[in-house]
Amino acid sequence: MEVEKAKCECCGFTEECTPTYIVAVHAEYLGRWVCGLCAEAVGDEIRREGNVITTAKALDRHVAFAHAAPMASAAEDNLVAAVARLLRRCLVDSPPASAPASRKVAAGPGCHDGADE
C-alpha cells in the first residue's frame, strides 16, 4: 500500500496516510491537512457553538488556539503538549451534560497505523 507523510497545519503532527485519504481531508478542511485529533477539536468547536459557525471559522479558531502557546522542540513533546492543551480546553469548555458521553478518536480510514507491517 502506498503511503505519504502529511503534516497537520494545526499542531505539526505528521501521519502516514494514503494519497486518497490525504485528498479527502484536504477537501473537507478547505485545502488544509488536519490530523485526526485536530479534526475532532474542530468538530468540537462547531458543536460548542451550536452548529452555527462554518468549518472555516472553527478551523481558524483551532489553528489560532494551537499556535497560541509555544511548543517543545522534540516531536514527542509537541504531541504531548498539544494533547494536554486540547484536554484542558475540552474540560474548560465541555459541552452540556446532555451531550453524548463518549467519543471515539481515531486516525481515520487510510492512515497507516503500522498494523500491516
**Does 101 fall in a domain?**
no
Phi then psi for residue 5, to 5 deg, are -90, 140
**Does 15 fall in a domain?**
yes
- C-alpha grid cell, residue 101: 458521553
User: What mean pLDDT, rounded, does the chain reach?
Assistant: 74
- For 19-40, b where at least 16 C-beta lie within 10 A, e where not — what string? eebbeebeeebeebbbbbbbbb
**Does 112 fall in a domain?**
no
Going by pLDDT thresholds of 50, 70 and 90, the confidence category of residue 69 is low
Q: Tell me: the pLDDT tens digits for 17-52?
A: 899 999 999 898 888 888 888 888 888 888 887 878
**Does 85 fall in a domain?**
no
**Does 92 fall in a domain?**
no
* pLDDT attached to residue 116: 46
**Does 59 fall in a domain?**
yes
Domain extent, residue 16, equals: 4-68
Residue 115 pLDDT > 50: no
Residue 93 pLDDT > 80: no
**Does 53 fall in a domain?**
yes
Q: State if pTM tops 0.75.
A: no
Looking at the structure of the chain, the number of domains it has is 1
- C-alpha grid cell, residue 73: 522542540
